[in-house]
Amino acid sequence: MRASRCAKNACGATDVKKDVLVVGVGNILQRDEGLGVHAIAYLESEHSRFPRSVEFLDGGTAGYDLIPAMKGRRKIVFIDALRADAPAGSVFRFPAERLTGAPLFSLHDAGIGTIVQMLRIEGELPAIEIIGVVPEDIASIDIGITEPVRQALPRVLEQVFDAVTTT
C-alpha cells in the first residue's frame, strides 16, 4: 500500500488526511486485475488537474488494511476491475450502495463491498463511489494491463475527476 499526495506537517509526517481519497485496488501480477493500481499511477501523472483536497492511494491487495486510511474522509472513490456484460475497457461509475454482493473481480482478502460494510459498522459514513473497468484478462500471470484497459484510462481519469469535484 503506497500513499501519495498526502498532506504533510512541518515534520514531514503524513498524519493530516485529505478530504477525498481515491483508492486503486487489484493484483498487478494478474494483468487487468491490477488495473486499479495502474489507474492510480496514471492519475498521479495528471495530479495537477485535481483539487489539492484529493489523495491517491495504491491499495494493491491490502483489503482490511485499507480501513484506517479511509477513516475521516468526506468521500472515497474506488477503482477496480468490474464483472459486467460489456466489452473489455468499458467504464462504469456507481455509488457503493449499488454493490449487490456480486464481488468485483478481486483476489483481495476483502472485497470492496466488505470494506464499505466495515466502514459503516465503525460509524464512518463517507460518500463512496466505484469506478469499474471491464477487464480483458485476469487469468494470465503477467504484469501490465491489456490494450483495451489501457485505452480506458483517460475515461477513468474523467470519471474520477467528476467524482471528486461533485458532491
What integer is the mean pLDDT of 30-36? 94
Q: Is the dihedral of CA 5, 78, 17, 75 positive or negative?
A: positive
Give the model's confidence band at 23: pLDDT under 50 very low, under 70 low, under 90 confident, else very high.
Answer: very high
Q: What domain count does the chain have?
A: 1
**Mean residue pLDDT across the chain:** 85
Cα distances (Å, whole numbers) of residue 53 to 32, 70, 74, 100: 28, 14, 10, 30
Of the candidate ranges 49-58, 103-112, 125-134, 158-167, the one whose mean pLDDT is the lowest:
103-112
Question: What pLDDT is attached to residue 57?
Answer: 96
- Whether 5 and 18 have beta carbons less than 8 Å apart is answered as yes
* CATH for 125: 3.40.50.1450
Q: CA 96, CA 64: separation in Å to the nearest integer?
A: 17
pLDDT of 86 higher than 80: yes
Give the model's confidence band at 11: pLDDT under 50 very low, under 70 low, under 90 confident, else very high.
Answer: very low
Question: What pLDDT is attached to residue 100?
Answer: 60
Question: What pLDDT is attached to residue 56?
Answer: 96
What range does the domain containing 72 cover? 2-165
Q: Specify the pTM.
A: 0.84
pLDDT of 33 higher than 80: yes
